[in-house]
Copies of this chain bind each other. A is one copy, B any other.
Amino acid sequence: MSSLLYQQIARQLADDIRKGFYKPGERVPSVRKLSTQKGVSHATVLHAYATLEDQGLIRARPQSGYFVHNTPALTAPTPPIARVEQPYAVTRSGIISEILHQSRREGVIPLGAAVPSSQYLPLRALHQQMSKVTRFHSQKAYSYIFSPGYEPLRRQIAIRMRDAGAVVDPSQIVITNGCVEAIQLCLRSVTNPGDLIATEAPSYYGLVQLCDLLGLKVIEIPTDPDSGLSLESLEKAADKWPIKALVLTARAGNPMGATMPEDRQRKLVAMMAKRCLPIIEDDIYGELMFEPGRSKALKAFDCSDTVMYCSSFSKTISPGVRTGWVIAGRHQSAIEKLQTFTTLSACSVSQMSVAAYLENGGYDRHLRYLRQEYRKNLSSFQLAVQQYFPEGTQITRPAGGFILWISLPGDIDAQRLFEQALEHNISIAPGAVFSHSEQFNHCLRLNCGVPWNRETEAAVMTLGVLAKGLLSKNKVVEAVDEEVA
């Protein structure tokens, strides 16, 4: 029996090593540990390890234990266990998942997800603050900071909200796991499954999916690239349907880049207040307006607790720290409760580090730098798209942010463009994912939060060639390859 046992143990560990669980040079579990884990004697484990040593898979180091042998043959992983998958690539959420993952993939030009290149993030300054926080306040930084979140961070955000034209108290702010959680908490606190909400057409693809997941019905209100959401269409829709809330971005919207003029912002808030309907405002690009003194958030015009304000530092400081916030007015208690019992709280280290970074005062300078760079990038992308894309291509002129929305001429299917571009290691976001309808199938969104250089210019050129190929309905992939090379 004992001979069988040691063989079983040896076989399992050999499997693990071949699968890459333990990498070459890494220590395998100690004899003591494995004997406890398996409930067998030390002698049995020693026997198993001796077998593996004979097979050349591990090697003992005196006083240190057993280590995976450093041979090249072991580094090649076996294929992973097959996973049960939903039908995947053809769904919108599958495309979005692809777009997100491509934004972090080596060798891909990430024009798909709206993620700024890390060179635009204040990483050195943030790292300095995080080091201080974890060194001098480690007890607090590694403990829970429960909803509504870290007070000094809420104070810094309240100060920042003045730039958006909104006067709020730190006690009115709840820290969230990014802007997505903020919007989710707002929607869950003002709607029930089956309810109808109004969104922009087109709107942020995460919102399109979130509404599906929450079981919400959606009416999409047309958005004009210049003046934003059509108030006239909204009014008509609200007359006709039992809308429960409106979700929109009033400044540098995603993907249209639209910014609503102040008079229309006022009108919108008044109209919704009159109907007692909440507005969930996603202002994540608000701090990236190119002329910061000349625009305000919707929240600035809210005198009757109509606007629930959501934002985050993902586009300006760091997406990886997952630090957003929500100003929810009379729904605040409900939102704190929802957060407490669905994610408990946001990361403490992140909350304290971002607060320290904001306090330290370099943020305004950093924002000025970002605005200048993104404006330049947008301009370069716009001109290149104009030059390389088929005649009849339409391009937005955002007043902030780093996102370009492009409408292709004729019957070009942007999803085909998305697929072809990927073969050239270029990621874009096809229009279809920004709506429940089919009306943006000939559109695409470009992330211009990446440096403009020969590589990005070549990518835009390739996209143009591919688009022209799709327009002429002829498969010209070979020609493209030549032209690009």
- Residues of chain A touching chain B, judged by Cβ–Cβ distance below 8 Å, are 12, 19-22, 27, 29, 33, 35-39, 80-81, 83-86, 88, 93, 96-97, 100-101, 103-104, 115, 118, 121, 123-124, 126-127, 130-131, 134-135, 138-146, 155, 158-159, 162-163, 167, 169-172, 177-178, 180-181, 184, 193, 206, 209-210, 213, 215, 292-294, 318-322, 329-330, 332-334, 336-338, 340-350, 361, 364
Q: Closest approach, in angstroms, between the C-beta of A363 and any C-beta of chain B?
A: 11
- Cβ of A482 to closest chain B Cβ, rounded Å: 35
In the complex, which residues of chain B have a beta carbon less than 8 angstroms from the beta carbon of A127? Answer: 134-135, 138
Chain B residues with Cβ below 8 Å from A209 are 337, 340-341
Closest to A333 in B: B86
Assuming the A-B contacts A158-B21, A343-B343, are A37 and B293 also in contact, with contact meaning beta carbons closer than 8 angstroms in the complex?
Answer: yes
A140 contact set on B, CB distance < 8 A = 320
**Secondary structure of the A contact surface, majority rule:** helix
CB distance from A480 to the nearest CB of B (A): 30
CB-nearest residue of chain B to A81: B169
- Considering the chains assembled together, what is the distance between the CA atoms of A118 and B137 in angstroms? 12
**Top 10 A-B pairs ranked by shortest CB distance?**
A320-B348, A36-B293, A142-B318, A347-B347, A209-B341, A142-B320, A118-B139, A84-B330, A123-B138, A177-B343
Report which of B97, B126, B163, B318 forms a contact with A340, defined as CB distance below 8 A. B97
Could you show 15 A-B contacts with beta carbons less than 8 Å apart?
Answer: A27-B361, A84-B333, A96-B340, A97-B336, A103-B144, A126-B142, A141-B320, A142-B318, A143-B319, A145-B320, A213-B338, A213-B341, A322-B346, A347-B347, A350-B350
